[in-house]
Amino acid sequence: MVDSILRHLKRILNTKQGNAPIAEDYGVPDFSEFMSALPRSVGELERSIRLAIQKYEPRLTGVRVSFIPQEEDRLSLRFQIVARLAAESKNPVYIETVVDSDGKIEIKG
């Protein structure tokens, strides 16, 4: 089930809002718009990721998203997602996302 969730998260987080016929708010805003406002925009990026996951991935609950500063690679942004599987509320799931300079998101679980 975790692999299925990771694939779905990759789809959600790599879809720009307004580009999916399912719903206007499916996906996340274009992250390239936030890049010029860093570090002030980090909180907004965390919030956008969290809201998209909460709304479109019901298999995860208690979603938290945290920015992970990277001194060695300033061209990408890293976020850690911590959540619980809705079916098993005991053990947390840790997911790392990397947003590259083009706004593409890679997910590692």
* Rounded Cα–Cα distance for residues 63 and 78 (Å): 16
Catalogue all structural domains in the chain, each as residue range(s) with its CATH number.
2-108 (3.10.450.40)
Q: Which two tokens stand for residue 34?
A: 């936030």
User: Which residue type sits at 28?
Assistant: V
Q: How far, in Å, CA of 34 to CA of 101, rounded?
A: 11
- Interval 22-33 mean pLDDT: 84
**pLDDT given at position 34:** 66
SS3 label, residue 93? strand
CA neighbor of 66 nearest in space, from 76, 52, 79, 78: 79
Share of the chain above pLDDT 70, in %: 91
Q: Tokens 């890049």 sit at which residue?
A: 35
